[in-house]
Structure formats: C-alpha cells, structure tokens
C-alpha cells in the first residue's frame, strides 16, 4: 500500500510524464481500471434530479449538464422512472421486455451527448427495492412471512425484467450497471433472508451483463453486510460509505482487490469545505490507490446547491 507521500509523488510524476495536456474522463477511468496513474484523481458524484415525471430528453439534459458543469469523470446516470405496476395486483405481474423505455431513450441521448469522452453507468435498483416501490415495503414483509413462495415468484419476474433492462442499457452504450442494494442490512432482512429473498435475484441482474467492463455494486446503509460482497460477484467495483458503516477504506482494500468508489462523506457534504473534502479524498486515496475513484458513499443531498457541489470539483483539482 502506498504511503500518502509516495502516492502524491507518484501522481505528480505521472502528471509530468503524461504531459501538459489533460486526460479525458474516459482516459482517466481506463487507466485506473488498469491500476495505472492519472494526471489527477478521477471523481464523480450524483444526486436525484427529481425529474421522474419529465420526458427522457429532460432527464438526459439534466445528466449531461451536471457532468459538464461539475467536470465529473464517471457519469452515474440516475434512474427514477417507475417500474410498471401490474394491472390487477401481484397475480398479473409479468416479465417486461422493456420495463423502463424512457430511461433507455435517455441513455441513448446521454451516449450521443458524451460522444465517447466519458464512461457512463446505469443505475439499477435491485428487485427487492423495485418490488417495495410497486407493492409497498410493509407488504413485502407480510408477504415474506405469509407467502414466501409467492414473493419469490414475484421477485424472479422483476429480476428477469431488470436483467432485460440491464442488457438494453449496455446496448445503449453504458459501460456497466450501478446495482443499488439497500436491503442487505438488519432493519430489512437478516443475512439468511437476504441470501434467500434477494441475492439470487440481484445476481440475475448482474449476470445478464457480466461482460460489461464497469459493473458497480452500491452497498447502501449503515448496517450493510459488507462481508457478503467482497468476493464472488462479477463486478469491477464497489461503492459504499466508510463514514456511515464505520468500515475504513483501508479495510475494504484488504478485502477487495477491485476498483473502490468512495471516501467522501455524503452525510456532511453540504457543510464541508474545500480543504475538508481534499483531506477526505487524500485519506481514501492513500488507502486505496491506484484503483480508486473519489466519490461519496451515496448520493449527495438533493438540496445541495451548485456552489456546494463545486467544492468537490475544486478539491480534486478539476
């Protein structure tokens, strides 16, 4: 593991060796995937645009404007269009060949707008999460207790539908999926329940696009069972909050050899100064470099102002 001094010296040397011309966002990410130095830290962050009632053209424009204004390296596409509700309750739930057509159209527009200069990944909320949005979180818990076989059938249908969407996202130009898992923690499912009611369906989604170069697991929440995910998943990267979980980036690096996304405290993001954000990313990079992208552990608050968000851009020298 590099010391902070060694990392900073190697980063400076890399910048000199690579010349005055800055890398494109795609070039930075490609080099990091290979474990190589870059001219500056690659970074990204994201929040919900709250545009789920808008057409895909608006969603694509919001995404591209965010990327260009804040100069992010990785474009993490939000995905808040709703999963289609069955016409007459759980019994009418059917596999969807294209469950999010507006999102697919937005991805195509984002691809065209980026022109190949940056990687973008599509957010996919896991089947349990989508089932909760369709039927209600309390109903899932009741269903689990009273009709587990019925719940498993429903989750299988949603998982197959989301796998179809994941394949469409890659076909539209996405470099991978950003699979958000928020139910692998005690306040939702026990470890055994996660393995039964979620893991098989989460794997169905990522297995559908396992050849994509930049699949990312987003492990959400303070009590997430991180140890279930360090090994055995066909993913290039893991994103989690070291601040919320209390698990240091250095521990994650010992357990996981792939790309780590994190190091910025999303809980205090709005009030953090440029210097505080710089200290956060330097600490994370010291532990995780070179296979590391500076990001928050989750989306930054939707109320974040442009001025507040630009502090991270400044902190990484973008």
pLDDT tens column, 237-257 = 999 999 999 999 999 999 999
pLDDT at residue number 89: 82
Q: What is the mean pLDDT of residues 59-64?
A: 98
pLDDT at residue 311 greater than cutoff 80: yes
Q: What is the mean pLDDT of residues 180-187?
A: 98
pLDDT at residue 318 greater than cutoff 80: yes
Which residues neighbour 243 within 8 Å (Cβ) at sequence distance 6 or greater?
265, 266, 267, 268, 297
pLDDT at residue number 90: 87
pLDDT at residue number 15: 43
Across 149-159, b (16+ Cβ under 10 Å) vs e yields eebbebbbbbb
pLDDT at residue number 153: 97
* Band of residue 4 on the pLDDT scale cut at 50, 70, 90: very low
Q: Which residues pair with 225 in a beta bridge?
A: none
DSSP per position, 25-85: HHHHHHHHHTT---SS--B--------TTS-HHHHHHHHHHHHHHHT-SSEEE---SPPPP
- pLDDT tens-digit series, residues 80-105: 999 999 998 888 999 999 999 999 99
Report pTM: 0.92
Domains of the chain: 42-315 (3.20.20.210)
Q: What is the mean pLDDT of residues 169-190?
A: 98
pLDDT at residue 73 greater than cutoff 50: yes
pLDDT at residue 10 greater than cutoff 60: no
pLDDT at residue 297 greater than cutoff 70: yes
Which residues neighbour 263 within 8 Å (Cβ) at sequence distance 6 or greater?
242, 249, 280, 281, 283, 284, 285, 288, 292, 294, 295
* Band of residue 165 on the pLDDT scale cut at 50, 70, 90: very high
pLDDT at residue 12 greater than cutoff 50: no
Distance of CA 309 to the CA centre of its chain: 18
* Band of residue 193 on the pLDDT scale cut at 50, 70, 90: very high
């Amino acid at each position: 593991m590099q010391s902070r001094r060694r990392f900073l010296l190697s980063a400076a040397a890399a910048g000199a060796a690579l010349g005055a011309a800055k890398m494109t966002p795609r070039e930075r990410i490609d080099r990091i995937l290979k474990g190589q130095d870059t001219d500056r830290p690659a970074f990204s962050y994201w929040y919900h645009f709250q545009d789920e009632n808008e057409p895909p053209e608006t969603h694509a424009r919001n995404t591209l404007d965010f990327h260009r204004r804040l100069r992010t390296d990785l474009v993490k596409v939000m995905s808040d269009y709703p999963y289609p509700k069955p016409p007459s309750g759980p019994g009418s739930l059917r596999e969807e060949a294209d469950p999010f057509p507006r999102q697919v159209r937005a991805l195509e527009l984002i691809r065209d707008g980026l022109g190949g200069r940056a990687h973008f990944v599509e957010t996919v909320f896991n089947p349990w999460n989508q089932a909760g949005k369709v039927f209600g979180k309390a109903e899932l818990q009741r269903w689990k207790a009273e009709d587990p076989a019925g719940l498993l059938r429903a989750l299988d249908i949603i998982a197959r539908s989301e796998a179809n969407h994941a394949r469409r996202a890659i076909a539209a130009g996405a470099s991978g999926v950003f699979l958000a898992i928020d139910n692998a923690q005690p306040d939702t499912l026990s470890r055994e329940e996660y393995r039964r009611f979620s893991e098989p369906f989460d794997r169905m989604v990522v297995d559908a696009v396992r050849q994509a170069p930049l699949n990312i697991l987003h492990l959400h929440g303070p009590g997430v069972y991180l140890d279930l995910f360090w090994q055995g998943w066909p993913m290039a990267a893991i994103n989690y909050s070291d601040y919320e979980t209390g698990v240091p980036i250095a521990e994650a690096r010992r357990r996981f050899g792939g790309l780590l996304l994190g190091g910025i405290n999303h809980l205090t993001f709005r009030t953090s100064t440029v210097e505080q954000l710089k200290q956060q990313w330097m600490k994370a990079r010291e532990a995780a470099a070179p296979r590391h992208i500076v990001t928050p552990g989750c989306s930054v608050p939707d109320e974040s102002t442009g001025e507040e968000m630009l502090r991270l851009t400044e902190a990484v020298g973008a």
